[in-house]
Amino acid sequence: MLEIITLIKMSQRMGEIAREKGRQPAWFIVMLLGFWFAGEVMGAVSGVVIGMVLLGQKEPNMFVIWLPSVLGALLGAFCAFQIAKHLAPAGPSQ
Write the pLDDT tens digit of every residue in 12-31.
999 999 999 999 999 999 99
Q: What is the pLDDT of residue 90?
A: 81
Please enumerate, as own/partner, the contacts of 41-49 that have beta carbons within 8 Å and a separation of 24 or more: 41/69, 41/72, 42/72, 43/68, 43/69, 43/70, 43/71, 43/72, 43/73, 43/75, 44/68, 44/69, 44/72, 46/72
Q: What is the pLDDT of residue 92?
A: 67
Q: What is the pLDDT of residue 37?
A: 97
Q: What is the pLDDT of residue 93?
A: 55
- pTM for the full predicted model: 0.87
Mean pLDDT rounded to a whole number for the chain: 92
